[in-house]
Amino acid sequence: MNRILSCLILLAALFCNCRQERQPAAGDAFTSDTVRYARGIAIERYADYIIADVRDPWDGTRLLQRYVLVERDKPLPADLPAGTTVRIPVRNVTVYSSVHAGIFDLLGEADRITGLCEVRYLTVPSLCEAVRTGRIADMGETMSPNIEKMIDIGTEVVIASPFQNNSYGAVEKTGIPIVEGADYMESHPLGRSEWIRFYGLLVGKEAAADSIFRATEQRYLALKALAANAAVRPTVFAEKQYGSTWWVSPADSYTATLFRDAGADYVFNDRAGTEAVPLSFETVLDKAIRADFWLIKYIQDDDMTYADLRAEYPAYEHFDAFKNRRIFACNTGKVPYYEESPVYPERLLKDFVRIFHPELLPDYTPRYYKPVND
């Protein structure tokens, strides 16, 4: 039975590919969606289909993938342009990331998810329950998903996060369309959030997705304006050492942008770029020893304490933020940080404004970060 299903999927893929013979002609009528913050995606609408171009985050001169979205209840146009054809709204979806699963849930379309990888990272109660009852199949690890189960449950589309020079292995051989969600590579928080408009197209919730984004944008910009009025700008650094390496986000990164918009001076603003760079502990200590605040993300059963940090690496005590008890941490195993913040960066920004400038939001209790206790 599995072999028959595999053959049917491959034949369907070949049928779609044989039609993908041309690029849109110069005279084709289309409109281009205004993408204001995201740099990794462009959307164009034609009479019979929508083109979504995902740019290569590691090489801005080329496309990572072109998707040709065709409504499910309409026949395929005779001369579709080259690209991966995806029937929309998508259904029977296998999702590699709990982040994208959370976006489907936010749009009220979690029922379209039939398979999910790395379910241990889930924190959304309804999705956890769906996995527990078997409605959503546990597909194993993203690097080696259960292909046989993927075919058995009738997966029509895979939603995955791309990595540089990474292939999808045996999944590519099935012919199942792989939608590469490169939203995590966006350096601006609102750019990452804006990708919900693409996911809204995929699940038939375009208007709802656009409404969510516009409301998010409005709240984010209002908080940014509030923080701009702060009398002082404290200094901050983030995360901690793993092994012998401390991965630091540079000045143009997502994290640095949030710190800047929250009215703080990030100690690594002198390092250009968007991708994290590996530094030694000594280099970080030299740069951040006098920083006012230290923010950390972690995952463990019990909340982090200063004793935990001291036991992990005694030299952490040299930072002023440690001495002055100004470390704030987010336990991502207990709060939906990864499911919410890609879509709602203003919630994260609000936490940071409250931490750096408590006088601006005196009645607000941070959603994700809280003071590390002794």
Among the candidates 213, 248, 272, a domain finishes at 213
Q: Which residue in 6, 4, 15, 31 sits closest to 75, CA to CA?
A: 15
> Does the structure show a pLDDT above 70 at 2?
no
Kindly state whether residues 241 and 200 are assigned to the same domain. no
Structure tokens at 354: 């409250």
Global model pTM greater than 0.85? yes
pLDDT for res 79: 86
Is residue 153 within 8 A of residue 1, CB to CB? The reply is no
Residue ending a domain, among 213, 248, 281, is 213
Is residue 225 in some structural domain?
A: no
Q: Is residue 53 domain-resident?
A: yes
- Cα 26 to its chain centre, rounded Å, is 34
Please report which helix (H) or strand (E) contains residue 106, including its range. Answer: helix 98-106
CATH number for the domain that contains residue 86: 3.40.50.1980
Q: Are residues 201 and 265 in the same domain?
A: no
Per residue in 329-349, pLDDT (tens digit) is 999 989 989 889 999 999 999
- Whether 92 and 52 map to the same domain: the answer is yes
Query: Domain for residue 10, yes or no?
Result: yes
155, 179, 213 — which closes off a domain? 213
Report yes or no on 278 lying in a domain: yes
What confidence tens digit (pLDDT) does each residue in 252-307 have? 999 999 999 999 999 999 999 998 999 999 999 999 999 999 999 999 999 999 99
Report whether 360 contacts 230 (CB < 8 A).
yes
- pLDDT averaged over the chain? 91
Do 341 and 200 share a domain, yes or no?
no
Q: What is the DSSP letter of 129?
A: H
How many other CB atoms sit within 10 Å of the CB of residue 346?
24
**DSSP assignments along 154-206, one per residue:** T--EEEE---TT---THHHHHT--EEE-GGGG-SSHHHHHHTHHHHHHHHT-H
pLDDT tens by residue, 152-205: 999 999 999 998 877 888 999 999 999 999 999 999 999 999 999 999 999 999
* Residue 12 shares a structural domain with residue 115: yes
Q: Does residue 218 sit within a domain?
A: no
Report yes or no on 221 lying in a domain: no
Compute the distance between CA of residue 61 and CA of residue 76 in angstroms, rounded to an integer: 30
Identify residue 351 by its one-letter amino acid code: D
* 149 and 20 assigned to the same domain: yes
Q: Are residues 282 and 208 in the same domain?
A: no
Residues of the domain holding 359: 232-371
Assess whether 197 and 245 both reside in one domain: no
Q: Which residues contact 95 (CB under 8 A, 6 or more apart)?
A: 101, 104, 113, 115, 116, 117, 158, 159
CB within 8 A of 259, min separation 6: which ones? 236, 238, 265, 266, 352
pLDDT digits (tens, 9 = 90+) for 6-52: 443 433 433 343 333 345 544 444 556 789 999 999 999 999 999 99
Q: Are residues 46 and 159 in the same domain?
A: yes
Express each pLDDT in 145-167 by its tens digit: 999 999 999 999 999 999 887 78
Identify whether 104 is part of a domain: yes
pLDDT tens figures, 64-106 = 999 999 999 999 998 899 999 999 999 999 999 999 999 999 9
Instruction: Let me know whether 194 and 236 are in one domain.
Output: no
DSSP-assigned beta bridge partners for residue 41: 54
Q: Is residue 222 part of a domain?
A: no
Q: How many domains does the chain have?
A: 2
Residues 252 and 207 reside in one and the same domain: no
What local confidence, expressed as pLDDT, does residue 24 receive?
52
Same domain, 205 and 269: no
